[in-house]
């Protein structure tokens, strides 16, 4: 009875520990991995903050068109009071002499409020427009970062899947060779096989084991890369739920490469961003050109001041003065600084135009290469499907012939190697197709 109770308790503890371990493993589909990355990836968080900063730049640009009001206060203590000069005749001196008088108090206080309102400053409008364009360009940069993260996560997810499948294929190969070793030993015992065949089978099995170690380690590495891309802690355990499979979907793309190219140019965020930067550079030219034009502002001031020889502030007199006026600033000569800035802005605009043209040519090449990669991988999949069927049939026939003593051990090894290679080639073709479609989605700007 005690033994039964002990066994039950041990089983419950094991099941509980296993359940706790399972609960700590994050189960991930590819869609879940993408969602986690969009929520936790630090590069995306930085890009999102950049859009918030660019929005504040628009607010800053608009503020230059609003009134600027500033208060000021000044306290001065005079060790020697201010001096005023009067004609000498006022105090009985000759006309050619001046009389000096020290006036005012030792303590002087001045306070006021000044206001400035731009009335005509052409650069302000261009500055606001430039800030708005910069905000739009930053949003496109965010979309580009988002598309890159989605692409990287999907590719990292597929890297884990193919490594796991390669491990599974290697384990199947070992299982087949272990069975062949078992059969060789049985035939050796019956006197129907040589000792050399048994040794070859043993060596073949042992030669496959290092690949298991390598693939197991590679799975850990690819999972680390995936977790890093998603923004997860590297210590967190994950388990992938999707499998590496080919569903033979129809490629939803226009019939011609030209149509696909135009779709990509219109949808790619980096193209739109560079076009916006080109517009931004045009506004920068306008901003620098505006520095040549006059600037007109309305100005006003309300000021009060007082002086005394003591600190009894409540007894001070505070006369108030105020004015309103117009301030006109006309640039006459700036040492060619303005002309140089205009030329710099124009050169920058020309550089951006060249970059836009170059990027469009790059997109054209990427579209052509992307479509070719998808089609090439699809054709390889169709070919390898048939090859696997033939290799499986050949392996079964060779194994039966070997058991009957008709085929050699070398024939058996070749058949097993051909089967493993056929499955590996099919697996690689499926992986290449899936990664090519992920890359093509990014090339065409379909990742939102």
| pLDDT tens-digit series, residues 308-322 | 888 887 778 889 999
Whether residues 171 and 316 share a domain: the answer is no
Residue 344: pLDDT over 80: yes
Stronger pLDDT, 220 or 87, i.e. the higher one: 220
Whether residues 164 and 53 share a domain: the answer is yes
CATH number of domain containing 404? 1.20.1600.10
How open is the CA angle 415-419-421, to the nearest 5 degrees?
115
| pLDDT tens-digit series, residues 5-63 | 434 434 444 444 444 344 588 899 999 999 999 998 999 999 999 999 999 999 999 99
Contact 160, 238 (CB under 8 A): no
Whether residues 194 and 272 share a domain: the answer is yes
In this structure, is residue 16 part of a structural domain? no
At 193 the pLDDT is 65
In this structure, is residue 282 part of a structural domain? yes
Instruction: Copy the structure tokens of residue 378.
Output: 């699809």
Whether residues 56 and 188 share a domain: the answer is yes
* Domain that includes residue 56, residue range: 25-64+121-293+337-443
Q: For residue 244, what is the DSSP state?
A: -
> Residue 119's closest CA among 338, 287, 328?
328
Which of 167-181, 210-224, 286-300 shows the lowest per-residue confidence on average (mean pLDDT)?
167-181
Whether residues 220 and 126 share a domain: the answer is yes
DSSP string, 297-317: EEEEEEEEEEEESS--GGG--
Distance, CA of 348 to CA of 412 (rounded, Å): 69
Mean pLDDT rounded to a whole number for the chain: 85
In this structure, is residue 40 part of a structural domain? yes
Whether residues 310 and 358 share a domain: the answer is no
Please give the average per-residue pLDDT across 431-445, as a whole number. 93
Number of CB atoms found within 10 A of residue 216's CB: 13
Stronger pLDDT, 174 or 140, i.e. the higher one: 140
In this structure, is residue 11 part of a structural domain? no
Residue 2: band (very low, low, confident or very high) from pLDDT cuts 50, 70, 90: very low
Whether residues 205 and 255 share a domain: the answer is yes
In this structure, is residue 448 part of a structural domain? no
Residue that terminates a domain, selected from 283, 308, 330: 330
Question: What is the C-alpha radius of gyration for the chain, rounded to an integer number of angstroms?
Answer: 41
Residue 154: pLDDT over 90: yes
Sequence-ordered strand ranges (E) for 221-314: 238-240, 295-308
In this structure, is residue 85 part of a structural domain? yes
Please give the average per-residue pLDDT across 372-381, as a whole number. 92
Whether residues 41 and 188 share a domain: the answer is yes
Residue that terminates a domain, selected from 280, 306, 330: 330
> Residue 381's closest CA among 343, 429, 318, 342?
429
Whether residues 127 and 232 share a domain: the answer is yes
How many angstroms separate the most distant Cα atoms in the chain?
A: 149
Residue 403: pLDDT over 80: no
Contact 276, 326 (CB under 8 A): no
Whether residues 430 and 410 share a domain: the answer is yes
At 155 the pLDDT is 95
> Residue 154's closest CA among 432, 448, 434, 366?
434
Q: Describe the strand order of the beta sheet including 68-77 as a list of residue ranges.
A: 68-77, 107-120, 295-308, 320-329
Stronger pLDDT, 13 or 128, i.e. the higher one: 128
In this structure, is residue 1 part of a structural domain? no
Phi, psi angles (nearest 5°) of residue 153: -65, -45
Whether residues 253 and 382 share a domain: the answer is yes
Q: Tally the domains of the chain.
A: 2
In this structure, is residue 361 part of a structural domain? yes
Q: pTM here?
A: 0.79
Residue that terminates a domain, selected from 330, 347, 381: 330
Whether residues 321 and 400 share a domain: the answer is no
Distance, CA of 173 to CA of 154 (rounded, Å): 28
Please give the average per-residue pLDDT across 223-228, as a whole number. 93
Sequence-ordered strand ranges (E) for 263-371: 295-308, 320-329
| pLDDT tens-digit series, residues 189-206 | 777 666 777 787 788 788
């Amino acid at each position: 009875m005690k033994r039964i109770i002990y066994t039950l308790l041990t089983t419950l503890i094991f099941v509980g520990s296993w359940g706790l371990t399972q609960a700590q493993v994050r189960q991930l589909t590819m869609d879940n991995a993408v969602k986690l990355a969009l929520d936790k990836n630090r590069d995306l968080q930085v890009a999102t903050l950049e859009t918030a900063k660019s929005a504040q730049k628009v607010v800053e640009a608009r503020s230059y068109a609003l009134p600027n009001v500033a208060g000021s206060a000044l306290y001065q203590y005079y060790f020697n009071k201010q001096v005023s000069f009067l004609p000498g005749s006022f105090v009985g001196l000759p006309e050619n002499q001046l009389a000096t008088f020290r006036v005012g108090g030792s303590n002087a206080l001045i306070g006021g409020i000044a206001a400035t309102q731009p009335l005509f400053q052409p650069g302000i409008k261009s500055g606001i427009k430039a800030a708005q364009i910069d905000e739009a360009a930053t949003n496109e940069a965010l979309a580009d970062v988002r598309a890159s993260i989605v692409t990287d996560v999907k590719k990292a997810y597929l890297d884990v899947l193919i490594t796991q499948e390669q491990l599974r294929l290697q384990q199947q190969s070992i299982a087949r060779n272990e069975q062949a070793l078992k059969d060789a030993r049985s035939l050796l015992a019956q006197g129907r096989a040589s000792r050399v065949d048994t040794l070859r089978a043993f060596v073949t099995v042992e030669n496959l084991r290092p690949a298991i170690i390598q693939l197991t380690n590679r799975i850990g590495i690819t999972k680390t890369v995936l977790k890093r891309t998603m923004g997860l802690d590297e210590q967190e355990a994950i388990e992938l739920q999707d499998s590496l499979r080919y569903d033979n979907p129809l490629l939803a793309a226009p019939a011609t490469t030209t149509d696909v190219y135009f779709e990509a140019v219109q949808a790619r965020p980096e193209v739109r961003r560079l076009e916006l930067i080109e517009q931004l550079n045009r506004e920068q030219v306008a901003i620098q050109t505006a520095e040549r034009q006059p600037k007109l502002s309305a100005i006003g001031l309300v000021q009060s001041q007082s002086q005394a020889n003591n600190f009894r502030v409540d007894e001070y007199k505070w006369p108030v003065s105020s004015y309103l006026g117009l301030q006109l600033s006309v640039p006459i000569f700036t040492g060619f600084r303005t002309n140089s800035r205009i030329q710099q802005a124009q050169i920058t605009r020309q550089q951006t135009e060249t970059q836009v043209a170059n990027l469009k040519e790059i997109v054209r090449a990427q579209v052509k290469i992307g479509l070719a990669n998808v089609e090439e991988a699809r054709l390889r999949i169709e070919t390898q499907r048939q090859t696997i069927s033939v290799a499986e049939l050949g392996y079964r026939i060779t194994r039966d012939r070997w058991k009957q003593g008709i085929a050699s051990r070398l024939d058996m090894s070749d058949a097993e190697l051909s089967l493993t290679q056929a499955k590996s080639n099919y697996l690689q073709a499926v992986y290449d197709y899936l990664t090519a479609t992920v890359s093509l989605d990014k090339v065409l700007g379909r990742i939102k």
